[in-house]
Amino acid sequence: MTPDTPLCRLPLLTAGERRVLLHELNEGHAVAASGDRLLAAFEAAAASVPERIALVFGEPNQPLSQRSYACLNHRSSVLAGHLQTRSVGPGSLVGLALPRSLDWLVAMLAVLKTGGAFMPVDPELPPNRLKLLADCADLLLGSPGLEVPTTTPRLCPNELQKQPAPALIEQSPAVDGDHLAYVIFTSGSTGTPKGVAISRHSLSHYIASAGQRLALGDCGSMAMVSTLAADLGNTMLFPALWHGATLHLISDACATSPQLFGRYLHSHRIEALKITPSHLAALMTQQAPAHGSQGPVDVMDQSAFAPVPTKGAEDFQIA
């Protein structure tokens, strides 16, 4: 380099930084381009450990709802059959405007089983935003009371249960890695919201890489606190189903209370959790309980594939 070197030719990274970005961060398990990697792993878990609890959800002071792998597989196959009778298949985009619940996860798997792609839609969004998202979908799944000013066909999964069950999907339609898994929209803070399309191969690669870097295959119990309308929680959601672990879908009331949150981590022996640093800092405001914790919790920073140093669940008030 000389004083006459153009700015565009100046190196912005050291040799070590370039090595990390170009090589070390790109080392990982190769993932085949097959489009059914996630479903294959999930269905393998349903076959090998059918009675294992796959999903847990509940509001404070209410009994928890649970679904085993066998139950989740069956329910999602039934719903997938209903969707297929409505022409949902490869190339279809289905909006999930359902509340935070186990039904949302059943619907997500059902859409993937048809070969289609899902689109998370927060049912609490303003009408104009709901309409923008709904208009992009081929079909919208929502609760009976959902009001959306759109011409997109709508279905209520719970009402479909009253109808005769269609033939179960024995094998998902053939899709390749380039078929979409989901579409998620930006906030629109700088203009019109834009849809970001994630292929099945990209999702499979992310799951495999996250599982390798975070050793998620060794975790039997994971927790998700983020909204279902964003992909922040995908680091817990999909690896849990991929590795046959139990996913705890934390309620909003629990996720905003240090006491309830700490008690939940403690009593359910949560082994992995992804949470934003600001959310974690807001929760870690109480003194540690006198009786301590059952064990450490690996808390993942949203900005990197690395555990955030913590003292574990005992940092929260557990009463």
Q: Domains in the chain, please, with CATH?
A: 67-213+226-234 (3.40.50.12780), 256-319 (no CATH)
- In this predicted structure, the answer to whether residue 168 has a pLDDT above a threshold of 70 is no
State how far the Cα of 285 lies from the Cα of 259, in Å rounded to an integer.
10
Q: 201 or 33, which is more confident?
A: 201
Which band of pLDDT confidence, cut at 50, 70 and 90, is reported for residue 244? very high
- pLDDT at position 35, please? 56
Burial of 139-166, coded b for 16+ CB within 10 Å and e otherwise, reads bbbbeeebebebebebbbbeebeeeeeb
Q: Which of 11-25, 27-41, 232-246 has the lowest mean pLDDT?
A: 27-41
Give whole-number Cα distances, 76 to 43, 90, 180, 198, in Å. Answer: 11, 17, 18, 21
Q: What is the pTM of this model?
A: 0.82
Task: Read off the pLDDT of residues 264-298 as tens digits, 9 standing for 90 and up.
Answer: 988 999 999 988 888 888 887 654 444 444 455 55
